[in-house]
């Protein structure tokens, strides 16, 4: 794990919902740093998402303030007031403008966010800021997550090395559309805001926007990329050699974090890559990939390690792609071809299917024979524990 010069973090236990654990995280970016972000497209987006968007538009972000345990979503006008009040509190004590603080929340939807715990904890947060707090930060933002999630890279640019480190949280209500639950990635490179935003968009499309646990896009999804500039190494354009290297490192960190979310998907016992190839375009490739990745029948068969490949075939067939030539479609389960010529591949054996299903990482590959576009979506299986966690969460 590489620290990021110019990025300091602090955590505190404010008792917002959980007892005896950290539930507040403050991230500070050095003055002059830049910030890019993407947010959920859920129409019922949470109050902090609305406020964070407003503040980002004003530029010069210095602080990201996050609480876990309460999503401050579905809370109407009082929710917006609470989100703004937490920013005002922090700005007052930190000596910056309120619009330089972006708020984030994650947890239960529909409960008023109390502001008092923030008032009590902000001094602790401000006095606790250090560059070596990434691991504690990853733990402070967890909800139903069972493990903290952190990824890090060092990349050598022409002027020297810079680091890219990120954390994320998320385990249920995962089907990001524009971003994921919460993810914060930071670099000490010096990057103009538009370039930083382009790098983030590029990385998110290929990471957080290509995973699903349960198809439910959250009200609070947000992914932020900070560039402190503290390394003194500037990256001026994404298509420069240095820009490509840095963009690659950002994408690698995002992809690693996204995969961690799926591995820690609620009740998940398996990681499943649904890879669609030879599609006519991205839209149809995603239709097919998500039809398979969201199918409860496919997901329960994966949980049971049952090579019930007919369920995969049925999901592909119902994906909604018009004019599919089913006789040309081929489907693989790991290295076993299961479908060709409109039905079971002649070479397929139940033993081969079972051998693949025993593994904990499984690839389902679908060749649509219609073009040259490919897309990969990560998902997990559907187990008793998914139902247990979601029938019991909140109670």
- Residues identified as active-site: 180
Nearest alpha carbon to residue 23 among 145, 127, 130: 145
DSSP labels for 213-235? SSS---SS-EEEEEE--TT--B-
- What 3-state class would DSSP assign to 353? helix
Binding of residue 395 to a second copy (CB under 8 A) = yes
Residue 226 near residue 7, CB atoms below 8 Å:
yes
The residue to which tokens 């909140």 are assigned: 394
Nearest alpha carbon to residue 56 among 246, 225, 231, 250: 225
CB of 264 to a second copy, least distance (A): 17
Binding of residue 114 to a second copy (CB under 8 A) = no
Encoded tokens for 73: 């979503």
- Select from 125-133, 158-166, 255-263, 288-296 the region that touches a second copy (CB under 8 A): 288-296
Choice from 39, 63, 332, 386 touching a second copy (CB under 8 A)? 386
Interaction pattern, residues 60-79, with a second copy; x per rule: CB under 8 A: -----------x-xxxxxxx
Interaction pattern, residues 159-198, with a second copy; x per rule: CB under 8 A: -------------xx-x-x---------------------
The number of residues that bind a second copy (CB under 8 A) is 66
Q: Using CA atoms, how far apart are residues 392 and 386, in angstroms rounded to an integer?
A: 10
User: In which element (H, E) is residue 137 found?
Assistant: helix 134-140
Q: Which is nearer to a second copy, 208 or 303 (CB)?
A: 303
Cα–Cα distances in Å, from 45 out to 23, 79, 83? 21, 11, 13
Binding of residue 144 to a second copy (CB under 8 A) = no
Residue 91 near residue 129, CB atoms below 8 Å:
no
Q: Using CA atoms, how far apart are residues 304 and 298, in angstroms rounded to an integer?
A: 10
Q: Which is nearer to a second copy, 47 or 183 (CB)?
A: 47
CB of 5 to a second copy, least distance (A): 38
Binding of residue 347 to a second copy (CB under 8 A) = no
Contact positions vs a second copy (CB under 8 A): 41-45, 71, 73-79, 108-110, 172-173, 175, 177, 214-219, 294-297, 300-301, 303-304, 306, 308-311, 313-319, 321, 324, 326, 339, 341-344, 382-384, 386-388, 390-395
């Amino acid at each position: 794990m590489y620290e990021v010069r110019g990025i300091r973090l602090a955590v505190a236990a404010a008792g917002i919902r959980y007892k005896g654990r950290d539930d507040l995280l403050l991230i500070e970016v050095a003055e002059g740093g830049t910030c890019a972000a993407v947010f959920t497209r859920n129409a019922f987006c949470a109050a902090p998402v609305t406020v964070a968007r407003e503040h980002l538009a004003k530029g010069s972000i210095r602080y990201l303030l996050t609480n876990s345990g309460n999503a401050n979503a579905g809370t109407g006008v009082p929710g917006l007031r609470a989100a703004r009040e937490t920013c005002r509190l922090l700005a007052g004590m930190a000596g910056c403008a309120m619009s330089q603080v972006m708020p984030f929340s994650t947890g239960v939807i529909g409960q008023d966010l109390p502001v008092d715990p923030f008032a009590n904890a902000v001094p602790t947060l401000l006095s606790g800021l250090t560059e070596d707090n990434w691991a504690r930060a990853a733990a402070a933002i967890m909800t139903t997550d069972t493990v903290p999630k952190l990824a890090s890279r060092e990349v050598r640019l022409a002027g020297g090395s810079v680091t890219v480190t990120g954390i994320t949280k998320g385990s249920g209500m995962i089907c990001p559309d524009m971003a994921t639950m919460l993810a914060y990635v930071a670099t000490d490179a010096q990057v103009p805001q538009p370039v930083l935003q382009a790098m983030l968009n590029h990385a998110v499309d290929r990471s957080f926007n290509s995973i699903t646990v349960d198809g439910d896009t959250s009200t609070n999804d947000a992914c932020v990329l900070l560039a402190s500039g503290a390394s003194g190494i500037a990256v001026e354009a994404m298509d420069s050699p240095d820009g490509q290297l840095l963009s690659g490192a950002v994408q690698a960190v995002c992809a690693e974090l996204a995969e961690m979310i799926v591995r820690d998907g609620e009740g998940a016992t398996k990681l499943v890559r649904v890879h669609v190839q030879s599609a006519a375009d991205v839209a149809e490739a995603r239709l097919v990939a998500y039809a398979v990745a969201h199918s409860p029948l496919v997901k329960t068969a994966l949980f049971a390690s049952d090579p019930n490949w007919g369920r995969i075939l049925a999901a592909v067939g119902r994906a909604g792609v018009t004019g599919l030539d089913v006789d040309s479609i081929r489907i693989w389960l790991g290295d076993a071809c299961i479908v060709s010529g409109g039905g079971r591949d002649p070479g397929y054996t139940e033993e081969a299917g079972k051998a693949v299903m025993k593994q904990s990482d499984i690839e389902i590959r679908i060749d649509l024979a219609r073009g040259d576009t490919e897309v990969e979506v990560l998902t997990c299986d559907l187990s008793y524990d998914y139902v247990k966690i979601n029938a019991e969460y909140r109670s």
